[in-house]
């Protein structure tokens, strides 16, 4: 794929998935029922996976679907069902006027920061690597190999430390999820 010469077909789908992602994210935040919110969040994640494919990150897109939309959201739905929180509570859980004002204020500040950044110094299309670096990597090593080579060469220490993190997380989840009576024994 040529890097800078995006076709109309490409742009149309990029915008299409972006708009679906934003709409479903807004719907997700405003849903009262946790199950409905989780479903809309999954739609957002699938749209982001589509964007990853268009940004030449096919392996990341597959991981997005498998890990985020698959594993993590299933844990969320599992906990919602386990605690029987699926139905929306009759009293709203949205904060009062103070919380809404605070949220709007913070949101406006963040949007304004983005506006300032676009005016001053967003790194707009300056290639640090070669212009066709990514497509060349994909052509030479394949979608998985292009990610795996730096992962196991330059970032191998971080990769090993990740396994420690996962071990700690498993142990922590088991200990926290245990019933009180068994720890008293």
Partner 1 sequence: MLAESLGLSAILFVIGVVGVLTRRNAIIIFMCVELMLNAVNLTFVALSRYYGMGGQVFVLFVMTVAAAEAAVGLAIIISIFRHRQTVDLRNINVMKG
Residues between 13 and 42 with contacts to partner 1, criterion CB under 8 A: 14-15, 18, 21-22, 25-26, 28-29, 34, 37-38, 41
Cβ nearer to partner 1, comparing 106 with 139: 106
Cα gap 1→132, rounded to integer Å? 9
Considering CB under 8 A, how many residues would be counted as binding partner 1? 87
Closer residue to partner 1 (CB): 176 or 184: 176
Rounded (10°) CA dihedral 135, 136, 140, 145: -50
- Site residues for partner 1, 112-131, by CB under 8 A, read 114, 118, 122-129
Q: Does 44 bind partner 1 (CB under 8 A)?
A: yes
Please tell me whether residue 142 binds partner 1 under the rule CB under 8 A: no
Q: Is 12 in the site for partner 1 (CB under 8 A)?
A: no
Find the binding residues for partner 1 in span 73-102 (CB under 8 A).
75-76, 79-80, 82-83, 85, 89, 93-95, 99-100, 102
Contacts of residues 137-146 at CB distance under 8 Å and 24 or more positions apart, as own/partner, are: 138/56, 138/58, 143/58, 143/59, 144/59, 146/59
- Residue 25 CB partners (closer than 8 Å, separation 6+): 40, 41, 44
Burial state string for 136-146 with b = 16 or more CB within 10 A and e = fewer than 16: ebbeeeebeeb
- What is the CB neighbour count within 10 angstroms for residue 44? 20
Question: Site residues for partner 1, window 147-166 (CB under 8 A)?
Answer: 147, 149-151, 154-155, 158, 162, 165-166
Minimum Å gap between C-beta 120 and partner 1 is 14
């Amino acid at each position: 794929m040529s890097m800078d010469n995006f076709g109309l077909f490409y742009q149309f789908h990029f915008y299409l998935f972006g708009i679906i992602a934003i709409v479903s994210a807004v719907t997700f935040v405003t849903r009262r029922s946790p199950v409905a919110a989780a479903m809309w969040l999954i739609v957002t994640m699938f749209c982001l996976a589509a964007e990853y494919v268009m940004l030449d990150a096919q392996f990341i897109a597959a991981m997005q679907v498998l890990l985020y939309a698959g594993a993590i959201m299933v844990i969320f739905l599992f906990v919602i069902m386990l605690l029987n929180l699926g139905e929306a509570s009759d009293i709203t859980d949205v904060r009062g006027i103070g919380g809404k004002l605070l949220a709007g204020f913070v949101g406006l500040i963040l949007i304004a920061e983005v506006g300032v950044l676009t005016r001053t110094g967003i790194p707009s299309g300056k290639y640090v690597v070669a212009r066709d670096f990514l497509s060349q990597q994909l052509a030479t090593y394949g979608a998985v190999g292009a990610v795996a080579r730096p992962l196991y060469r330059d970032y191998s220490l971080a990769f090993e430390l990740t396994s420690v993190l996962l071990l700690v997380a498993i142990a922590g989840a088991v200990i926290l999820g245990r019933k009180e009576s068994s720890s008293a024994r």
